[in-house]
Amino acid sequence: MGILLTKTYTKNKSPIGYLFGNNTLERKIWMLFGYARCSTQSQNLDRQIDMLSDCDQIFSEHFTGTKANRPEWDRLKSMLRAGDTLKIESLSRLGRSMKDLMQTISFLQEQGVNLISCKENIDLSTPTGRLCLNILSSLAEFERDTIAQRTQEGLASARSRGRCGGRPKKNPRDVDRAIRMYEAKSHSLKEIKDLTGIPATTLYRYAKRDQ
């Protein structure tokens, strides 16, 4: 016996479909899925859902876009099949960064799923949509190159002033003292950090290296 899907809607806002033992929706037709997302509970999803009213099924949730693993998004991805179409209110619903967006689009393409974004008027099944995708891909590459260039320029500037990148080195005497206190089991990790300035992660790293 199947389990009725939750937070999924048909055109008249009633649930459709059943999940079976293998957690897949048994169907043989292509479907138009909608995905609506707001970051906080205080935000309203009605406007997005109205824009997706022609979809066969809508997944919605209140969840920050900075998280890659979102419950309803993960459920939607598990149900997508080659030939399906995903419709969203805007590209920002899929991720907060260009990197996240391109990773999601790449996933959809690998699955054979088309993408429609209402706000940007993008349909990846059309030549214009594919052109927009190429532009987005170029922007993502530009963003990566710019970040890398700025990082290298910052490191070069720091080196010219006698500074090196990376974590500042700990005082060897403080490290030795922290290790002795840790091995003697005379102090808690918090007390060791307060007295020596050596946090637990650093302490474990040095203690393991000395073994």
Catalytic residues: 39
In contact, 91 and 133? CB cutoff 8 Å:
no
As a three-state string, the secondary structure of 12-27 is CCCCCCEECCCCCECC
Measuring CA to CA, which residue among 22, 16, 11 is closest to residue 78? 22
Task: Give CA 191 to chain center in angstroms.
Answer: 37
Q: Across the chain, how many H-helices and E-strands are there?
A: 7, 8
Q: Is 48 helix (H, G, I), strand (E, B) or coil?
A: helix
Q: Which amino acid is at 169?
A: K
Maximum Cα–Cα distance for the chain, whole Å? 70
Measured distance CA(94)–CA(90) in Å, rounded: 8
Task: Give CA 167 to chain center in angstroms.
Answer: 27
Exposure on the CB side of residue 46, measured as CA atoms within 13 A: 2
Which H/E stretch holds residue 86?
strand 85-88
